[in-house]
Chain A
Amino acid sequence: MKINCLHYMSSGTIVPRVVFVIILMLLMTKGHAQQSLAVIANEKGPPSELSFVELKSIFMGERQRWNSGNKVLIALLKTRNKIGIEVCDKVYNMKPDEMNKYWLALVFQGKASAPYFFNSTTELQDFVAENPGAIGIIDDNVTVSDIKQITIDGKKSL
């Protein structure tokens, strides 16, 4: 074992390996931070503009109905999905586990209805298009025409 370590060190491979890992981690971090999110909603119920504070309040389950009277239906991607992870970070300011625990506890207390979780942005968009009062968050790639994109603090993307 001792002889192998000496050979490894002297072969000059460990420094390039460490540098490569650091560069890879930086690229991953940079890539993660650049994911833009779009807030989409059904034509009936949600307004066309919201502030970020209002958006967060809605996704924390603090609002039960829109001004139109439609029930607030929250649509999210599962936290196995990288967009789902990004939503946890940007909107909830929580790690995925914390967000899941938050919602489980809230539903268990009887204080809110559970959100609808989806595996893909296509499924989420279809749900939002079909259900009055539904609001969801996906990446910038909005492919369904029967939904509207909500501006948050005047911006189309989060």
Chain B
Amino acid sequence: MQHVYVFEFNLSITRMRHVDTFTRLLIQVAFFTAASSESFCQNNTQIRGFVDAGTVFRDGRFAFNLGEQDLFITSDLSDRFSFLGESVFKYNIDSETRFSVSIERVVLKYNYKGNHNALLGKHHTPINYWNDTYHHGRVFFPTISRPMIFSSVLFPLHTTGISLQGLNLGKLKFGYDFMIGNGIGSTDLWDNNNNKSVTLAMHIKPRTGMRLGMSYYHDVLSKGVDPHHGQVIHHNLTEQLVTASVANFGDKLELLVESTMMLTKGDSIPMQSALFTYAYAGYKITDKIIPYIRIDNLMYPDDHETEGSILETKQNTYYLAGLRYQINYLAVVKIEYQRQYTGSNLLGNAITTQFAIGF
């Protein structure tokens, strides 16, 4: 039975129906601290945005394209509470206006002790360096687009739930994220099954610009759900993701390598594994001019059944080479040559450019 949450706002905020004890306590604390810390909101609320546009030359045709407009808001509500919200406006062919708004992140953060935080809301799942670092700000992306793994319908881009987080602990600047959420196939309002997704991620930063990390993700997907991109799961599926990351963004050399092992098991399907890896390297000729390359590789087993997208074939490889020009910290121009193979067959190639800004 779906619970209906009804809030009746009055000065005592006691008339809340169908709200569990923990949630009521959290909301009361939030309102109390927000009401008693007006100066924080006035002083440190920031509204920023990111936009990108570009061109593509593919299959003998040239076109201009519009990327996303990313609206990003942060605010310190009190000494311990803070808020982060990210909304994206983007082209959507299925929308009457051809554009749609997506709430990408809504995070209420409580700093309960030292460098330890509790976070509630919709997050980018801290499953790898890219998803935890770049979000939707193309001005920060080292390349024009995300790695191919993000196209997988079983990749948990977002999780709506709660997490415990630690940052910069000890000499190695150890960090952790332990997240429980609604999981793939759920909505931002309701979990489609009784199983919660679990994410455990850890990293260290042994020197400036370097981060070494690992993560584990577990989820159970129900038969018939549409996890993402309109693909339906044909079986009850248990999914595990194990990811290793190496990132080093130094004075000259930039390196980012991540590999994810996906283990899936269905009702009548034996355990299957797929391996997603990408490697990025860039070199700062000057502070502004950075040539780079990236190779993405997605390897599925021969009888992979769980995904119906074009990436279902045995091996998909994506090569790109590009040049990034940093106009300043709020504006960057990139140009890339991209080449994609499915197995040994050339799927396509393209030359793309992107002008990404922040404001």
Chain A residues lying within 8 Å of B133, measured Cβ to Cβ, are 105, 109
Q: Enumerate chain B residues within 8 angstroms of A71, measured Cβ to Cβ.
A: 79-80, 111
CB of B287 within 8 A of CB of A65, answer no
A110 CB contact (under 8 Å) in B79, B107, B137, B287: B107
Within 113-147 of A, Cβ neighbours of B (below 8 Å) are at 113-114, 116
B46 in contact with A114 (CB, 8 Å)? yes
Is the C-beta of A57 less than 8 angstroms from some C-beta in chain B?
yes
Contact with A along B324-339 (1 / 0, CB 8 A): 0010111000000000
Q: Does B43 sit within 8 A of A, measured CB to CB?
A: yes
Pick the residue among B79, B82, B329 that contacts A104 (CB under 8 A): B329
In the assembled complex, A64 has its CB within 8 A of some CB on chain B:
yes
Cβ–Cβ contact A107 & B167, under 8 A: no
Which interface class (under 10, 10 to 19, 20 to 34, 35 or more) fits B? 20 to 34
Question: What bracket does the count of chain A residues touching chain B fall in?
Answer: 20 to 34
**B14 shortest CB reach to chain A, Å:** 30
What is the bound-complex CA distance between A95 and B328, given in angstroms? 11
Inter-chain contacts of B46 with A (CB < 8 A): 107, 114
Nearest-Cβ distance from residue A134 to partner chain B, whole angstroms: 11
Q: Contacts A63-B115, A64-B114 known; A98 to B109 CB distance under 8 Å?
A: no
Could you tell me the dominant secondary structure of chain A's interface residues? mixed
Is B173's CB within 8 Å of the partner chain A? yes
User: Which residues of chain B from 102 to 130 have any CB-CB distance to chain A below 8 Å in the complex?
Assistant: 105, 107, 109, 111, 113-115, 117, 119
- CB closest chain-A residue, reference B86: A108
Which residues from B are CB-within-8-Å of A100? 329
Q: Is the CB of A97 within 8 A of B287?
A: yes
The interface residues of chain A lying within 8 Å CB-to-CB of B82 are 113
Nearest B residue to A79, CB-CB: B329
Cβ-closest chain B residue relative to A96 = B329
Q: In the complex, which residues of chain A have a beta carbon less than 8 angstroms from the beta carbon of B187?
A: none
Q: Say which residue of A57, A101, A116 sits within 8 Å of B329 (CB atoms).
A: A101
A89 at the interface (CB under 8 A from B): no
* Residue ranges of A at the interface with B (Cβ–Cβ < 8 Å): 57, 62-65, 70-71, 95, 97-98, 100-101, 104-105, 107-111, 113-114, 116
B residues neighboring A (CB under 8 Å): 43-44, 46, 48, 72, 74, 76, 79-80, 82, 84, 105, 107, 109, 111, 113-115, 117, 119, 132-133, 135, 137, 140, 167-168, 173, 287, 326, 328-330, 358
14 pairs, CB–CB < 8 Å, chain A vs chain B: A63-B115, A64-B167, A70-B79, A97-B287, A97-B326, A98-B287, A104-B329, A104-B330, A108-B48, A108-B72, A108-B135, A110-B84, A110-B107, A110-B119
